[in-house]
Structure 1
């Protein structure tokens, strides 16, 4: 980038970086708390995502950092294996991403049915809301979605003043104030102030009210030294990767993080007219960033659409904006630690609850309805399975339903018999596979034994040997009664199972009959 270009883009990138910083700061801390980790861990991930991934990124206007979409998975991993094991899992997941990027597999991570993706996001949104409702009342969330749902009535009762509590409801009021501020700002914000993030205003309002009324609520804990938030990966921790469950966790983390990153990059491409994203380079950059996060004991990262859209809307022109926002995050933790420690945890929980409700996008569900009820069913089942079990199981169930739908559509066969005197046309539409032999057999049973059966191939996508043999068997068994089988050879070589010479043989056999 030459000096003239830097001069022309620097003012816009500088302004955009400040906007992204204001959006990212509360989200980095809130996502860390929701993941069961100290808030400074999320800030470390945001710094690495800006400085390292922003420099290497294939999508220059995309911003990387801790993502709400990984909150559920990280919380599960921390609960099951401990925070110390998150480092080696993340190191392996990042290595897998880097290798996939270098092998140019980026496009394959985008081969994900939209119904599964939207269902995954909706399930994650439900889990975030269920867990953060407890955090918003200064209570500890349960380890599962159903656990949080079943424990909510008791937690709500304990937070009420007349039940002997009261502190929980005071904290919840600050969280509700944050949510109201964010919702009101999204609807009523003036055009001149549209770049000011609602999350920052909501957190600032809750913090000021808490300080003014001297409310006794749980507040954010920030280390005096940012180095205290870094937990270096020990070589002995890598031995734990021999555990198959950790390997599966690393694979799941790599896949979900990559899919979310590349889907976000595709969405960012639609927001601007600048250079298009290089998905393979972006995937490799994310791998480097996650390997560093694993070595430092931070949270995993992805490309995140909320911060990225704020970056584009604020007028960013180059990757410099994402890199500068990381410097502001670093300065905030180093210079403003005392101010950050005044923020109520319930307020950050309110930010995540609002974000979680946005992930439960009912408009996406309605749009899927244009493609049939099955797409809506896959969306709902994926989301509910994630809530009832875990993230990986829900995604696998969604993929299984998608494959089942594809198999059903691929094997669909519509059969019509058109009578024209002795000549009968057997018209088949779809795919004639061995699964449809009973259906084809029933149709042939209704054909008179002395008919001239004409079978056009133009409406078939595919026909296998089982159906061809059934047609030939009908001709052989009814030949004494004068039956004839006439198979139209046009495009037969493209549709029949087997080699070209086999198709030619079948065509010749049909014509000879």
Structure 2
């Protein structure tokens, strides 16, 4: 039986989820419609197609999801691919492709491929988020002044949208056809920025984006603004276009399966990387269950394909809005889908009162919020190489697409990892009749020939001081070489001075896991004590 305190805590959680779901709806509405237009749907059907995908992403994927606070729907990568595939295959065959991609994702989750995406550099994640944030900001800024983003349907669309921002600002300032929309957008952003600072305690629970859109809607109605409003669909069922019986005859085409695999891969990558990002944003919910998330996304895409609407994946803009608005459980994700369904079926006239510019302003703010300047300052101070990965990922996402940006970031991260575990700098100096050898970096089997060559330069019977305090890692192959070299020096009446305790700290855990190797090295040196306990010791 629940105690009163538990009931009170649950009620607070429900309240937070309800308000967060309202904020996510405000983000989802323009994104859903805008990405449907990018994919090639007409202006009349784009709202219905995108919003149906949002309902499925909220309710179906939300119920099954392995990441409670991730919100799914139409996403950038899948929408761009959809535009190409619809052009080449047609709408009905593309619907079959979406079904197949969903089945592939379900199979990938069942085969437990999901956790691979946990091994991702934080710089890559933040670079991807910042790149997506810039893309959203650049495109929606044009929409906020009731203009069409000039990059739509063009190569390097993100760069084009960014480059043309001054023109959008000029239109919003100087042209009557755009000034009203720009003012409503600025009103929305102003409320979002000011409300948390000026809100009375009794009203602080109201989400700032919801209040901003509400005030902009009231102002547009009050002054009879001549602007664009949300194009709510009159007939929701007219937008549904399931695969035709003729399209199933193409299941034997290799090309169709390649398209399905590529769509499944892109949607899966976007979803799981977004889930990883959501985990870094909050500590309120358990970490993502990646295999379950893949299955959930697959189930959602099977249903999207069966209805002939846009494919879905985890969307970082919606998910970050959910986290920032205080969402606590998957209820916020599910409710956002429910509200969209109720709006487009029971209250389409309410949707038609909302200025498109106001919703775009919410996305302008959300896009900029994805750029974490504090993380940039941290990378600048602590790790310039990781900063390079961040910058390369960001620039590639903006200049090309999300998947290419991720590929570039992963490639650079792997190169950095390989360099870190293969770089070994060796210096040899003479001091007081003793050869001083400094090792810096990682002593692994890859650098074993270089390390052996450095030792072979020394004369027989040399007195050697080996400095290892700048080593970051040493593996058994190099450790075995040191032990053999010390034995050879002693046999030639030489001397080796080495901080064995410091060296021992680098491989202590490895020897615990590989006791047999430690025992072999101990016997080779004639030492009766375990290496992992006392370390190798210099010759007397």
TM-score grouping bracket, smaller chain normalisation:
0.7 to 0.9
C-alpha separation between the residues in 2 aligned to 1:8 and 1:492?
50
C-alpha separation between the residues in 2 aligned to 1:204 and 1:34?
21
| 1:66 maps to 2:73 | yes
- After TM superposition, give the deviation of residue 359 of structure 1 in Å: 0.9
- After superposition, the Cα gap between the structure-2 partners of 1:57 and 1:254, relative to the gap in structure 1 and judged at 3 Å, is closer
- After TM superposition, give the deviation of residue 362 of structure 1 in Å: 0.9
Where 1:261 maps in the other structure, the secondary structure is: helix
Question: Paired residue for 2:143?
Answer: 135
- Asked if the contact 2:297–2:312 (Cα under 8 Å) also holds between the matched residues in 1, the reply is no
| 1:390 maps to 2:401 | yes
Question: Cα RMSD over matched residues?
Answer: 4.6
Where 1:415 maps in the other structure, the secondary structure is: strand
- Correspondent of 2:106 among 98, 102, 105: 98
Question: Paired residue for 1:248?
Answer: 262
- After TM superposition, give the deviation of residue 136 of structure 1 in Å: 2.2
| 1:80 maps to 2:84 | yes
C-alpha separation between the residues in 2 aligned to 1:493 and 1:66?
45
- After superposition, the Cα gap between the structure-2 partners of 1:241 and 1:326, relative to the gap in structure 1 and judged at 3 Å, is farther
- After TM superposition, give the deviation of residue 356 of structure 1 in Å: 0.6
Question: Paired residue for 2:130?
Answer: 122
Question: Paired residue for 2:533?
Answer: none
| TM superposition score normalised by structure 1 | 0.78
- After TM superposition, give the deviation of residue 509 of structure 1 in Å: 10
1:139-179 superposed Cα distances (whole Å, 9 cap, x missing partner): 24313112223444555556664xxx531333223222222
Question: Paired residue for 2:236?
Answer: 226
C-alpha separation between the residues in 2 aligned to 1:389 and 1:320?
35
| 1:25 maps to 2:33 | no
C-alpha separation between the residues in 1 aligned to 2:320 and 2:132?
16
Q: Matches of residues 303-314 of structure 1 in structure 2 within 5 Å?
A: 304-306=318-320, 308-309=322-323, 313=326
Question: Paired residue for 1:47?
Answer: 55
Question: Paired residue for 1:367?
Answer: 378
| 1:149 maps to 2:169 | no
- After TM superposition, give the deviation of residue 105 of structure 1 in Å: 3.6
- After TM superposition, give the deviation of residue 198 of structure 1 in Å: 2.0
- Asked if the contact 2:272–2:290 (Cα under 8 Å) also holds between the matched residues in 1, the reply is no
- After superposition, the Cα gap between the structure-2 partners of 1:224 and 1:464, relative to the gap in structure 1 and judged at 3 Å, is same
- After superposition, the Cα gap between the structure-2 partners of 1:217 and 1:319, relative to the gap in structure 1 and judged at 3 Å, is closer
C-alpha separation between the residues in 1 aligned to 2:5 and 2:58?
21
1:252-284 superposed Cα distances (whole Å, 9 cap, x missing partner): 22111122124425645x126xx6664433432
- Asked if the contact 1:101–1:284 (Cα under 8 Å) also holds between the matched residues in 2, the reply is yes
| TM superposition score normalised by structure 2 | 0.75
- Asked if the contact 2:101–2:260 (Cα under 8 Å) also holds between the matched residues in 1, the reply is no
- After superposition, the Cα gap between the structure-2 partners of 1:234 and 1:360, relative to the gap in structure 1 and judged at 3 Å, is farther
C-alpha separation between the residues in 2 aligned to 1:10 and 1:506?
60
C-alpha separation between the residues in 1 aligned to 2:193 and 2:287?
33
Question: Paired residue for 2:531?
Answer: none
- After superposition, the Cα gap between the structure-2 partners of 1:292 and 1:7, relative to the gap in structure 1 and judged at 3 Å, is farther
C-alpha separation between the residues in 2 aligned to 1:17 and 1:505?
59
Aligned length: 492
Where 1:284 maps in the other structure, the secondary structure is: helix
1:180-219 superposed Cα distances (whole Å, 9 cap, x missing partner): 2222224433333333222222222222222222222222
- After superposition, the Cα gap between the structure-2 partners of 1:298 and 1:437, relative to the gap in structure 1 and judged at 3 Å, is same
- Correspondent of 1:462 among 445, 461, 475: 475
C-alpha separation between the residues in 1 aligned to 2:17 and 2:465?
70
C-alpha separation between the residues in 1 aligned to 2:70 and 2:197?
25
- After TM superposition, give the deviation of residue 124 of structure 1 in Å: 0.7
| 1:415 maps to 2:426 | yes
- Correspondent of 1:188 among 198, 202, 209: 198
- Asked if the contact 1:29–1:40 (Cα under 8 Å) also holds between the matched residues in 2, the reply is no
- Asked if the contact 2:268–2:297 (Cα under 8 Å) also holds between the matched residues in 1, the reply is no
- Correspondent of 1:177 among 187, 205, 209: 187
- After TM superposition, give the deviation of residue 86 of structure 1 in Å: 6.2
Where 1:35 maps in the other structure, the secondary structure is: helix
1:224-273 superposed Cα distances (whole Å, 9 cap, x missing partner): 132233332446277587254663343122111122124425645x126x
- After superposition, the Cα gap between the structure-2 partners of 1:52 and 1:78, relative to the gap in structure 1 and judged at 3 Å, is closer
- Correspondent of 2:116 among 90, 96, 108: 108
1:5-27 superposed Cα distances (whole Å, 9 cap, x missing partner): 99888855664453234212221
Where 1:116 maps in the other structure, the secondary structure is: helix
C-alpha separation between the residues in 2 aligned to 1:90 and 1:426?
61
- Correspondent of 1:293 among 291, 299, 304: 304
- After TM superposition, give the deviation of residue 435 of structure 1 in Å: 5.0
- Asked if the contact 1:179–1:354 (Cα under 8 Å) also holds between the matched residues in 2, the reply is yes
Structure 2: segments with no counterpart, 5+ residues: 38-45, 528-540
C-alpha separation between the residues in 2 aligned to 1:206 and 1:388?
33
- Asked if the contact 1:178–1:203 (Cα under 8 Å) also holds between the matched residues in 2, the reply is yes
C-alpha separation between the residues in 2 aligned to 1:13 and 1:241?
49
- After TM superposition, give the deviation of residue 383 of structure 1 in Å: 0.3
- Asked if the contact 2:21–2:332 (Cα under 8 Å) also holds between the matched residues in 1, the reply is no
- After superposition, the Cα gap between the structure-2 partners of 1:198 and 1:176, relative to the gap in structure 1 and judged at 3 Å, is same
- After superposition, the Cα gap between the structure-2 partners of 1:427 and 1:494, relative to the gap in structure 1 and judged at 3 Å, is farther
